[in-house]
Amino acid sequence: MMRIAREGWPWILLAGGAGGTAALLRKKSLGLAAAGVTGALVWFFRDPSREPVPDRELLISPADGVVSTVRYYPEYEGFPGPVYRVGIFMRLHDVHVNRAPVPGRILQVISSRGRKLPASWDPALEWNEKRLYWMERDDGIPILVVQVAGLLARRTVSYVRPGDEVLTGDRLGMIKFGSRVEVFFPAEGTRVLVREGHRVRAGETPLALLPWKTE
């Protein structure tokens, strides 16, 4: 049986109820439309299982979609040195449940109000509503995952809290009807494994190789 993200059930039940009511009232066209909407919602809120590559040095994609950005920053707030940023744009047909890219601990989960610019625009990262997940890999490496809302994405949802321990591929949250996810990680000694335009899968596709930090 297909797993459905819990945020989808109110929408699915509402559409299904509308279809049932239409059937009782013998409103065939309305019933067919409601059935179509119900099917589309089930597909959108699907939450399939994933099997990450068992390598603790790999940073795995937190989202399904297409890599829209691969960028290097000499410095970035919250990191002790240079970082890479990999942005992933999620289309409506992609799975919208987001996952932990590394094993470690959730340090902070921060919600930030903002605009509703198209998620494909680069300024959306700065200006749009978003949710930030500051993580620490088990070797102390800082990782930042950012859910960015867009025109259709009206809300980000978190499944974790500060202090939670996560494994690679564990569910972090989802964006309802949305849009893009960014991941930031230290650049020193790191090898990025994807380019812009690559399709990736949350919990499965390696984005980068980060050597394990040793004392």
CA torsion sign, 48 to 62 to 88 to 116?
Answer: positive
Strand-pairing partners, residue 4, are 46
182 in Cβ contact with 42 (< 8 Å): no
Distance CA 89, CA 145 (A): 14
**Residues 186 and 83 sit within 8 Å (Cβ to Cβ):** yes
Which of 49, 68, 112, 179 is an active site residue? 179
Q: State yes or no: is 68 an active-site residue.
A: no
Compute the C-alpha angle 145/147/149, nearest 5°: 160
Please give the C-alpha separations between residue 28 and each of 15, 19, 41, 144, in angstroms, as whole numbers: 15, 9, 20, 49
Note whether 147 and 175 are within 8 A (CB). Answer: yes
Q: What residues are labeled active site?
A: 179
